[in-house]
Amino acid sequence: MMKKALSISLFLLVFPVCGAASPAWAQDAPVDSTTVVVAETPPQLEAPAPVVSVEAQDTPDDAGKSITISWELSADDVAGRRNVTKYIILRSTSPDGPFDTVGSATAGMTTLTDGQVDNGVNYYYKVAALAGKFTPAGEKLFAGVASPLSGAAKASGQWFHIIRTARILPWVLVIGISILWFINVAKKGKDLYVRPIAGLAEVEQAVGRATEMGRKLVYIPGTQDMDNVQTLAGVTILGRIAKLAAEYDAQLDVPVSRSLVMITSREVVKEAYLNVGRPDAFNEDIVRYLTDDQFGYAAALDGLFVREKPATIFYMGAFYAESLIMAETGNAIGAIQIAGTANASQLPFFVAACDYTLIGEELFAASAYLSKEPKLLGSVKGQDVAKVLILIAAVAGLLLGTFKIADISGWFQV
């Protein structure tokens, strides 16, 4: 009875790492310097000084369901007195408990974010500084005292991320103003210089070669559907290619692998023939559906290349494992091949097998480059100028940081 009474009167928590014991230190009680350990040779385990101040508040600039807890270090968690092993964070929806363990922090840390809460609910927190020690049996035991209760904290979502907005908004304004400025300049009829793209500069010659040889011009707008932005770019470029084909009276063939791409491409090609005054030359069979199957589509195109030996082949859009199969066959028959894709994994195959390759964003700039339409051309020019300004800012930040003049890295963090 004496031993049982002594155990009840003690407040210090002693429990194995596996957490078999309940967190008695989550309750307010007097502190005793004696520790009772159920072991043959009980080690002396003294609890560190408790945390005296805990604050909890809604995590700022987030979507909610998160509360940030901060506390002052234990008096024993300072240089020369490292008697704290870790901190345990306790949470309850009532100031009277019960409290559950929601996380831990290593010695020296003063904050922790609890991301497992509900919006609109008041939560209360305590933090316990623990000291640990191994028993002769190899179990690690801890002793600690809970801190005073924090104030109530309630999580909520914010409409705007203030810090992120402050960092991104200036760059958005720079890019937006630059684009609008150059669109306005282009509308006034002024020539805007755009870096030459070799693959696009050869489009007219490639179409002309097919016309002179009396052989087909094949255009492949990728293998994905119209919900893919690369397919949209490919279909846009098709409009310019179809216009040249109509002007030169070349044999245009557009085999596609998606029904919606077929319908859209037909309308684009029809409009191109109409714009050059040759609506009678348009035939719906110019754009035809083959199959949705990836390698079935590649096999059908390979058969087409071998049988009809087109003079020029365009690959513009999203491609995957079928890219090299088609491009190698086109290269074997001696066709001029111009490819463009934003799929980085397929670029090496197109570079190896094609005469010209549009790399990455060059595919999206191609429509502006070919059409010279003011809105498209002004947008490309404005984005290029904005990229130059951002690059200058990045280099300036690197130099300022290197020579320890100023740190502007925060401007680029989102």
Q: Hey, what are 158's tokens?
A: 């914010």
Is 302 a residue whose pLDDT tops 90? yes
- Does the pLDDT of residue 5 top 80, yes or no? no
d(CA 170, CA 40): 68
Q: Is 64 exposed, middle or buried (0-12, 13-18, 19+ CB in 10 A)?
A: middle
Q: Which of 87-91, 140-144, 272-276, 279-283 has the lowest mean pLDDT?
A: 140-144
Q: Is the pLDDT of residue 352 over 90?
A: yes
Q: What is the pLDDT of residue 372?
A: 77
The pLDDT assigned to 75 comes to 87
Whole-number Å distance between alpha carbons of 355 and 89: 64
Per-residue pLDDT, 139: 66
CA distance linking residue 196 with residue 217, whole number of Å: 23
Q: How high is the mean pLDDT of the chain?
A: 84
- Asked if 44 contacts 136 with a C-beta cutoff of 8 angstroms, the reply is no
Copy the structure tokens of residue 409: 């890295």
Give me the pLDDT at residue 40, please.
37
| Rounded average pLDDT over 249-254 | 95
Residue 335 is encoded by which pair of tokens? 């066709």
Q: How far apart are CA 316 and CA 23, in angstroms?
A: 64
Q: Alpha-carbon distance 224 to 317, whole Å?
A: 8
d(CA 121, CA 58): 11
pLDDT value, residue 412: 67
pLDDT of residue 393: 86
Give 136's pLDDT tier (boundaries 50, 70, 90).
low
pLDDT (mean) for 317-323: 94
Domains (ranges, CATH) in the chain? 2-154 (2.60.40.10), 203-354 (3.40.50)
Checking if the pLDDT of 42 tops 70, the result is: no
Residue type, 403: F
Q: Is the CB of residue 128 less than 8 Å from the CB of residue 51? A: yes
Residue 175 has pLDDT above 60, yes or no: yes
- Alpha-carbon span 62 to 60, nearest angstrom: 6
Q: Which of 152, 169, 171 is nearest to 161 (CA)?
A: 169
Q: Structure tokens of 354?
A: 């094609």
Q: Output the pLDDT for position 306.
A: 96
Higher pLDDT, 57 or 411: 57
Asked if residue 29 has pLDDT above 80, the reply is: no
pLDDT of residue 235: 94
Question: What's residue 80's pLDDT?
Answer: 67
Residues facing residue 253 across a β-bridge? 218
DSSP states along 120-188: T-EEEEEEEEEEEEE-TTS-EEEEEEEPPPPPPEEB---SS-HHHHHHHHHHHHHHHHHHHHHHHHHHT
d(CA 196, CA 86): 62
Of the listed ranges 63-72, 140-149, 197-206, 396-405, the least confidently predicted one is 140-149
For position 15, what pLDDT does the model report? 38
